[in-house]
Amino acid sequence: MDEDLVVTMEAEEAMKTLARMNDGDCALLYACACASGGYLRMSDAASLTGMDLHQLERGFSLLVVNKLCRPAGAPVREDQGYSVAELLASRKSDPAFRGVCDYMEQALGRPIRRGEIEVLYGVYDKLNMGADVMMLLINYCRRQERLSARFLEKTAYEWHDRGVANYQAASELLDEIDRRQSQYGRVLSLFGITNRAPSESEKKYIAAWLEMGHSDDLIRMAYDRTVLRTGKLTWRYLHRILEEWKNKGYKTRRQVEAAEGSLASQSPVPEKPKEESAAAYVADLFRRRLAAKEGEISRRYAELRVQSNAFAANEIAWRQLTLQHARAAIGSTAEAEDYEQRKAILQKERAEILASMDLPPDYLELKYDCPICQDHGYTSAGVCDCFRRELVKEELRRKERKAL
């Protein structure tokens, strides 16, 4: 798993909560986190606890939902304490921070909002993250098509937790992320999936298989058996096959065929996976919904670039303007004024282009169903009410299904 776990609930209260939950996996995972100093790297959790990936995901979700722990990247949010006047003054008087704000506006393609500048200044001030690192952070969020204040803040705290304190460390981290992304795409292509990025849960499975040392050929073999037996790509079923082969020391197709026979039907059938928990299901539902919305905005940008040469030129001009300004970050007052004038011209031009195509001004803005958590299902302070409502609905649906 990519995420790490931080203990947030005091021991006495946690014991009462765990007793009410009556869940051995959660209790073991919580105890392991406490024994690790209150911070558990989930990449180490499997070897420390003996749990498989499904148990770890389930325990992670339940510990977060019940507020015993929080994801390492999620800050415990309190009122930042920044007034509007202070934020505006910081942007005006601090050239480096002004460069970050301008860079964010270019990436968004619109003026920055108060909540966004507050998050940026919180990262800049409280985490002491340099302007050059923050620009890399903004670039990363945009490449992930998740350029929101919530995701940016979460990622900033993740980088901080990992000790990313300078440009070199951030560059090395991004190189590692790029390498992983390439691996994700390669494995998806083994399954015939080439038109989308992997979900968060799919990334965790793929990362686990790579950590096991499985070759592409062996993963493809496990995929073929999964489809043969279940009729579709069932990630958990495929994972159990690969776990079994890892435990038996199989590293090649020939070793598997020699031990089990060349026909897939001759190999022992792993136990069918249990239904995932309601909390895990709802968390994945929120991820898929948000990914669909972000994908739609990305599609709109791509469509407009094809339909309108003027829009494509406007977007290129936006990028060139902000990159030019961001590289300097600490330009003169005259340069800053020139930038603001050129930015205003491009904003007006984009609005006119959208209007000429009978499109509303907010056509390229991501619209959230829940403005509090921005459709993530949780905030840095904990689980959002919209997640709780969806969880209640899912638990009710499961009860009704069992009653049939």
Q: Using the predicted structure, report yes or no on whether residue 267 has a pLDDT greater than 50.
A: no
Cα–Cα distance for residue pair 5/40, rounded to 1 Å? 5
User: In angstroms, how far is the first alpha carbon of the chain from the final one?
Assistant: 36
Answer for the pair 270, 241: CB distance below 8 angstroms, yes or no: yes
Residue 271 falls within a domain, yes or no? no
Please state whether beta strands 5-7 and 378-379 pair in parallel, antiparallel, or not at all (unpaired).
unpaired
CA 106 to chain centre: 22
Q: Using the predicted structure, report yes or no on whether residue 279 has a pLDDT greater than 50.
A: yes
What mean pLDDT comes out for the span 369-391? 78
Q: Using the predicted structure, report yes or no on whether residue 189 has a pLDDT greater than 50.
A: yes
Answer for the pair 105, 325: CB distance below 8 angstroms, yes or no: no
pLDDT category at 273 given cuts 50, 70, 90 is low
Helices (H), 215-276: 216-230, 235-247, 253-260
Residue 69 pairs with which residues in a beta bridge?
A: 7
> What is the structure's pLDDT at 329?
45
Give the range among 172-176, 231-235, 318-322 with minimum mean pLDDT. 318-322
State both tokens at 29: 């995972």
State both tokens at 242: 């690969």
pTM over 0.75: no
Residue 89 falls within a domain, yes or no? no
Answer for the pair 326, 102: CB distance below 8 angstroms, yes or no: yes
Residue-wise burial string across 200-230, b where 16 or more C-beta atoms lie within 10 A, e elsewhere: ebbbbbbbbbbebebeeebbbbbbebbbebe
Provide the mean pLDDT of the chain: 81
What residues have CB less than 8 Å from 263, skipping those under 6 apart?
Answer: none
What does the angle CA 309 – CA 313 – CA 318 come to, to the nearest 5 degrees?
150
More confident residue, 287 or 297: 297
The residue whose two tokens read 């209007």 is 355
CB atoms within 10 A of CB 45: 24
Residue 206 falls within a domain, yes or no? yes
Q: Using the predicted structure, report yes or no on whether residue 266 has a pLDDT greater than 80.
A: no
Residue 10 falls within a domain, yes or no? yes
Residue 343 falls within a domain, yes or no? no
**Amino acid (1-letter code) at residue 284:** D
362 φ/ψ sector (left φ>0, alpha ψ -120 to 50, else beta) = alpha
Give the range among 144-153, 195-204, 233-242, 391-400 with minimum mean pLDDT. 195-204
Cα–Cα distance for residue pair 241/22, rounded to 1 Å? 29
Answer for the pair 313, 101: CB distance below 8 angstroms, yes or no: no
Helices (H) then strands (E): counts for the chain:
18, 5
Q: Which of 40, 72, 104 is the last residue of a domain?
A: 72
pLDDT in tens, 303-344: 888 888 888 888 888 777 765 555 444 445 566 677 778 888
Answer for the pair 226, 241: CB distance below 8 angstroms, yes or no: yes
Q: Which helix (H) or strand (E) segment is 184 a member of?
A: helix 167-190
> What is the structure's pLDDT at 75?
55
Cα–Cα distance for residue pair 9/28, rounded to 1 Å? 15
Q: Which of 38, 72, 106 is the last residue of a domain?
A: 72
Q: Which of 72, 91, 107 is the last residue of a domain?
A: 72
> What is the structure's pLDDT at 340?
77
Residue 205 falls within a domain, yes or no? yes
What mean pLDDT comes out for the span 140-156? 85
By C-alpha distance, which of 398, 385, 56 is closest to 376?
A: 385
What residues have CB less than 8 Å from 125, skipping those under 6 apart?
Answer: none
pLDDT in tens, 57-92: 888 888 888 888 887 765 544 445 678 888 888 888
Highest mean pLDDT among 4-8, 37-41, 143-147, 163-167 belongs to: 163-167
State both tokens at 283: 């968390």
What residues have CB less than 8 Å from 58, skipping those under 6 apart?
Answer: 25, 276, 277, 280
Residue 241 falls within a domain, yes or no? yes
- Percent of the chain whose predicted confidence (pLDDT) is above 70: 87
Q: Specify the number of domains making up the chain.
A: 2
What mean pLDDT comes out for the span 266-289? 67
- Cα dihedral angle (383, 389, 394, 399), rounded to 10 degrees? 120
Residue 51 falls within a domain, yes or no? yes
Q: Domain of 208: which CATH number?
A: 1.10.10
Cα–Cα distance for residue pair 361/353, rounded to 1 Å? 10
Domain hosting residue 53, numbered range: 1-72
